Amino acid sequence: MLALLDKSKKILEEYTLCDYCLGRQFSNLATGTTNKDRGISIKLVLAMSSTVEKEQVDIELLQNLSKTGAIFAKKTLKKLGFTPEETQKCFLCEGKIEELEELLQEIIEEINEYEFESFLIGSVLDNNFYVKENEIKDKFGLHGTEYLKQEFNREIGKKISKKTNKRTEFNTPDIIIECNPFSSKIVEVKIRSAYIYGRYNKYIRTIPQTHWDCRNCKGKGCEKCNFTGKNYAESVEELMAKTVLEVTKGEKAVLHGSGREDIDVRMLGSGRPFVLEVKKPRIRKIDLKKLEEQINEEAKNKIKVNNLRISSKKEVVKIKTKSQQLSKKYKAIVEFKNDVSDEIIRKIEEILKDITLNQKTPTRVKHRRADIIRKKKVHEVKCKRIDEKHIEAIITCEGGTYVKELISGDEGRTEPSFTEIAKNSAECIELDVLEIEE
């Protein structure tokens, strides 16, 4: 105990420290208190001990305490007939810990326009504050103690919490406020995205899942894309985003699908799982049932969403990785070059039962995907004749299977295929996803 007081006395001989900054040097001692209280307690005990010996009052110590603003030291000095030293600025925080009002106003104004439940303060300090604090720590052998940055984070956090009634959260805060307490300025405000899970249906064969930047201008807008910056006027993503951004007052919405269907493929059944990420939402508490109705009304006959619920960034990763393992059921209308016999139709069903395909990356997507061989399982194919050259095939297979190529064979890049088995050139002329496994 004496060591602690002795150290503090020596620190104050060289540095003027406020209650917070002195207390912080011993923040590893005693829990359930604050650095400010630690600082005051140490100073008070020092002031008391300086006057224990009536004949030998430690005036120097009292003056050092007086410099830090300790009222009891000033009063004691006066009583003893001395003029107490003026209060000086704290060597570490320059008194800023007690002068946060301007910054707090700035922060409140900035975050007021966002709906949030939790936040986190990150104060940004110049390097010289670390240098100064390390100087003290090294000189007096103070280890494992906090730095000024944490003190600011906590003090600003406590005050913002009191003013807004919201809580500090370390893992996934809705808002992160980076600020500089010395300039009383905000450095950056980061708003956590909102995530909405659901499943979507797509009823038309002309829209992609997400918006595609125009290849010519890369989204800037040119004559080729009619200055829209896009290849397609609409997408599943944009049809949802329109309503969602209106409701959440967010900046941008990004659709993360569990796999994707081609533009000309419809998505039927209970729909494809997705997570819609809303960037910088101003509103977070959303009536999802109502949102669902609004989207479905707005995008009627094009897409439909169902089962909306609040989701997370984690789920985005999950649905993306899971997509490859989920089995999918398709309906394909297949056209053969020459007439196809019942015998051949049975043969297709027989051979394509519980088989593993070797699929090289299709020619049509080779320009944007790695050219590798994928092994994909086909569980079952059920065929129904339409006429001499056409059949309807219900295909159940693993996620990520290129179904159009399973039919055409893609010039031998997919093996086996309808074309190979029938020895008759086959082509998928219409495709629907009927079901994606839950």
Among 70, 73, 77, 90, the residue binding Zn ion under the rule CB under 5 A is 90
CB of 129 to Zn ion, least distance (A): 10
Our finding on whether 18 is near Zn ion (CB under 5 A) is yes
Reference 70, options 152, 8, 158, 28; nearest CA is 8
CB of 119 to Zn ion, least distance (A): 24
d(CA 200, CA 260): 11
Near Zn ion by CB under 5 A, which window of 6-14, 87-95, 252-260, 316-324?
A: 87-95
What is the CB neighbour count within 10 angstroms for residue 155? 22
Query: Which phi and psi angles does 421 have, rounded to 5°?
Result: -65, -45
Beta carbon nearer to Zn ion, 92 or 326: 92
Beta carbon nearer to Zn ion, 104 or 351: 104
Near Zn ion by CB under 5 A, which window of 11-19, 271-279, 372-380, 426-434?
A: 11-19
Annotation-wise, does 330 bind a ligand? yes
Left (φ > 0), alpha (ψ -120 to 50) or beta: where does 411 sit?
A: left
Indicate if 432 belongs to the active site: no
Written as six digits, the tokens of 9 are: 């006395």
d(CA 411, CA 428): 14
CB of 40 to Zn ion, least distance (A): 13
Our finding on whether 93 is near Zn ion (CB under 5 A) is yes
Near Zn ion by CB under 5 A, which window of 17-25, 160-168, 222-230, 369-377?
A: 17-25
Reference 256, options 308, 328, 320, 213; nearest CA is 320
Q: What 3-state DSSP class applies to 228?
A: coil
Helices (H), 19-147: 19-24, 35-50, 59-67, 71-79, 101-111, 127-140
Near Zn ion by CB under 5 A, which window of 93-101, 102-110, 254-262, 355-363?
A: 93-101
Q: Are strands 175-180 and 118-123 parallel, antiparallel or unpaired?
A: parallel
Beta carbon nearer to Zn ion, 91 or 418: 91
Beta carbon nearer to Zn ion, 93 or 391: 93
Beta carbon nearer to Zn ion, 17 or 305: 17
Length, in residues, of the chain: 438
Annotation-wise, does 402 bind a ligand? yes
Q: Which of 262, 342, 410, 432 is catalytic?
A: 262
CB of 319 to Zn ion, least distance (A): 49
* Helix axes 35-50 and 2-14, enclosed angle (nearest 10): 90
Among 12, 42, 92, 196, the residue binding Zn ion under the rule CB under 5 A is 92
**DSSP assignment letter at 97:** G
Our finding on whether 21 is near Zn ion (CB under 5 A) is yes
CB of 94 to Zn ion, least distance (A): 7
| Sign of the alpha-carbon torsion through 124, 171, 169, 249 | positive
Residues forming the active site: 262
Residue list, annotated binding site: 330, 402
Which spans of this chain sit near Zn ion (rule: CB under 5 A)? 18, 21, 90, 92-93
